Structure 1
């Protein structure tokens, strides 16, 4: 589930606790979590709703200025069943803090190297990808894919693994190396 920046700000402040999405099937489930730039959301409930039954309160709780704005947003979504997703902010994304940990504990650098070797499998890509991201902040998945010979969608999935380890972070467009990633490269 993607959120616009103003909605993310409302989530961070605790003002936004609902979302409305047209889906063929839900992409989140009650009891699950969702990482967003505002933090980790706990999914409280998912219900099928009718747009005609929505209220001004629904609009306000979903970060819209009015019911008309909410209905226009819903109308602009792709076809599917309309779901009301209730959530609350659980806390900060743990990857954010991890990115800033640049001092490795004994054995931690070796463990990261082992994990990256496992990610590489038969086709090494992690080291080259990290170096390319470090060399140019904002490099996009398309540019990276062309540089290392991967399909863009497949590479984006792979880069998520680097992000999970706190080595990279996503920008509005492209990626950047984290302090942790830079420290890892310096010791490699």
Structure 2
């Protein structure tokens, strides 16, 4: 479930506790959690509702000025069910703490070697992990299209791959470009894998 940054921040602050979505089938289940720009958000409840019963008070709890605003923004087919999703903030994105952890043990390095090897083997375009890490280390805060072009890749698949490195705590995303995290730098310093 995607939440715009403003809505995600509202969940974190406790001012937004609802979301309304029109789906063929629910995209989330109670108890599930997902990462947002403001941290981890938990789904507390999912229920089907009549969209005409969305109140102005519910709309405000969803970060909208009134019910009409919610109805105008409901995407999907008009005959799909409308869902009221109750949300709460579950905590900081665990990748933030992970990326700052630069005290890598030998076991940590071996585990990262294994994960990066798997990513390289699963790739349709060959080994990419170390080349991407080294490129980001050399060119921090550089636009993704420029980095992708340097590697002879398309922007969107490149960005998906960088997200995989971010999930391992090795990179940090910025409004423009990326940088190697302290964990990523420690890994590159400690590993025998070099480009």
If the length of structure 1 is used for normalisation, what is the TM-score?
0.83
Q: 1:66 to 1:174 in 2, by over 3 A?
A: farther
In structure 2, what is the equivalent of residue 185 of structure 1? 188
| Secondary structure of residue in 2 paired with 1:90 | strand
In structure 1, what is the equivalent of residue 2 of structure 2? 2
1:124-181 deviations in Å (ceiling 9; x for gaps): 1000111222233344554444333445444444333212210113334543322211
Structure 2, unaligned runs of 5 or more: none
In structure 1, what is the equivalent of residue 29 of structure 2? 29
Whole-angstrom CA distance in 2 between matches of 1:31 and 1:156: 29
1:101-133 deviations in Å (ceiling 9; x for gaps): 112123322321222122111721000111222
In structure 2, what is the equivalent of residue 159 of structure 1? 162
Q: 1:94 to 1:109 in 2, by over 3 A?
A: same
| Secondary structure of residue in 2 paired with 1:109 | helix
Whole-angstrom CA distance in 1 between matches of 2:148 and 2:21: 31
Q: 1:91 to 1:51 in 2, by over 3 A?
A: same
RMSD over aligned CA atoms reads: 2.4
| Secondary structure of residue in 2 paired with 1:15 | coil
1:47-69 deviations in Å (ceiling 9; x for gaps): 23232110012112111233333
Contact 1:125 1:148 (8 Å CA) reproduced: no
Structure 1, unaligned runs of 5 or more: none
Q: State which of 130, 148, 171 in structure 2 corresponds to 1:127.
A: 130
Whole-angstrom CA distance in 2 between matches of 1:59 and 1:166: 36
If the length of structure 2 is used for normalisation, what is the TM-score?
0.81
Q: 1:25 to 1:146 in 2, by over 3 A?
A: farther
In structure 2, what is the equivalent of residue 79 of structure 1? 77
Q: How many residues of Structure 1 are paired with residues of Structure 2 in the alignment?
A: 186
